[in-house]
């Protein structure tokens, strides 16, 4: 029954003591089409993963651990988490979320968990920079809580299994990451998921207002007139959700995008 109810859905696992446990109800798969990244980005990541998933024999023949690490970095609300959810749906994978800044987590437990990821499950480490800052802070207080940086590196290196392992990490602050983490084998593929480009603005608009190509152009013109330094895709979603019945109202109220706090309303 559990298998049946998870069909067509994405199961989220969270670490619970020594184990991974399903967290909440399985979620409806998010469609890749619903995430609008800049031109070509989704395709390159998907191609990379597909090639990796077909290369099991190649890795085994060469004695290389069969795993691949991805880093999605960029500002808040640009679609990093959403895209990983959609990828899991597309690949028919589940997601195991590891919170490495959890104070009760030890290096041993981290290593154990990362070596015992459920099958066909993406390992997701969110806000990877936060964990280290926290560690440094607590170090200054003379007490090291939670996992250590070297514990994390070892756990990542140790991740090995007969099955493939896909690890995704996200951060808003790539500059804070230690180069040791960024080396191939730990992170093999990194990509900037940035604030919205013109391409994304138009396609976000069309995603909410199907077939409204003309209005999308008007929206784009009005957006340029605002002369905002940037806008996040989450901000755009906020505006379009608010005026979901009417593209004209979205155009008319585009000034909302100028409100400073809008950026923080719509991302989890």
Ligand X SMILES: Nc1ncnc2c1ncn2[C@@H]1O[C@H](COP(=O)(O)OP(=O)(O)OP(=O)(O)O)[C@@H](O)[C@H]1O
- Residue 13 and residue 22 in contact, taking contact as beta carbons nearer than 8 Å: yes
Q: What is the CA radius of gyration of the chain?
A: 20
Identify which of residues 89 and 151 has a Cβ nearer to ligand X in the complex: 89
Identify which of residues 80 and 109 has a Cβ nearer to ligand X in the complex: 80
Q: Is 233 one of the binding residues for ligand X (CB under 6 A)?
A: yes
Please report how close the Cβ of residue 213 comes to ligand X at its closest, in angstroms.
Answer: 19
Q: Is 122 one of the binding residues for ligand X (CB under 6 A)?
A: no
Please report how close the Cβ of residue 194 comes to Mg ion at its closest, in angstroms.
Answer: 14
Binding segment toward ligand X, per CB under 6 A, in 18-26, 139-147, 209-217, 233-241: 233-241
Neighbours of 34 (CB within 10 A): 13
**In whole angstroms, what is the distance from residue 137 CA to residue 176 CA?**
14
Q: How many residues bind Mg ion (CB under 5 A)?
A: 2
**Per-residue burial over 234-267, b = 16 or more CB atoms within 10 Å of its CB, e = otherwise:** bbbbbbbeebeeebeebbeebeebeeeebbeebb
- Residue 36 and residue 204 in contact, taking contact as beta carbons nearer than 8 Å: yes
SS3 content of the chain, % helix, strand, coil (to 5): 50, 15, 35
Identify which of residues 111 and 257 has a Cβ nearer to ligand X in the complex: 257
Q: Which does 186 bind (CB under 5 to 8 A by kind): ligand X, Mg ion, none?
A: none
Position among 81, 171, 237, 263 found at the interface with Mg ion (CB under 5 A): 81
- Residue 51 and residue 61 in contact, taking contact as beta carbons nearer than 8 Å: no
Q: Is 174 one of the binding residues for ligand X (CB under 6 A)?
A: no
Q: Angle 65-16-82 (CA atoms, 0-180°, nearest 5)?
A: 65
Identify which of residues 77 and 89 has a Cβ nearer to ligand X in the complex: 77
Position among 82, 94, 167, 263 found at the interface with ligand X (CB under 6 A): 82
Which residues of this protein are in contact with ligand X, per CB under 6 A?
A: 35-37, 76-82, 172, 233-234, 237, 266-268
Contacting residues toward Mg ion, per CB under 5 A:
80-81
């Amino acid at each position: 029954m559990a298998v049946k109810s998870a069909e067509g859905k994405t199961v989220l696992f969270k670490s619970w003591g020594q184990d991974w446990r399903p967290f909440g109800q399985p979620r409806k798969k998010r469609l890749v089409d619903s995430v609008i990244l800049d031109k070509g980005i989704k395709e390159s990541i998907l191609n990379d993963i597909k090639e990796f998933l077909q290369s099991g024999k190649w890795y085994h023949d060469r004695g290389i651990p069969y795993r691949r690490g991805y880093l999605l970095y960029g500002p808040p609300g640009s679609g990093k988490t959403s895209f990983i959810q959609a990828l899991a749906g597309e690949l028919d994978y589940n997601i195991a979320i590891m919170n490495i800044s959890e104070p009760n987590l030890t290096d041993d437990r981290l290593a154990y968990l990362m070596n015992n990821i459920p099958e066909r499950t993406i390992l997701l480490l969110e806000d990877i920079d936060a964990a280290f800052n926290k560690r440094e802070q607590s170090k200054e207080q003379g007490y090291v809580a939670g996992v250590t940086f070297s514990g994390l590196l070892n756990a990542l290196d140790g991740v090995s299994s007969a099955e493939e392992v896909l690890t995704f990490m996200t951060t808003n602050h790539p500059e804070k990451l230690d180069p040791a983490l960024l080396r191939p084998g730990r992170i093999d593929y990194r990509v900037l998921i940035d604030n919205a480009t013109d391409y994304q603005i138009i396609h976000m608009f069309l995603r909410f207002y199907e077939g409204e190509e003309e209005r999308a152009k008007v929206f784009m013109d009005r957006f340029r007139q605002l002369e905002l330094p940037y806008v996040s895709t989450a901000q755009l979603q906020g505006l379009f959700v608010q005026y979901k019945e009417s593209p004209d109202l979205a155009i008319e109220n585009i000034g909302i995008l100028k409100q400073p706090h809008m950026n923080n309303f719509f991302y989890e």
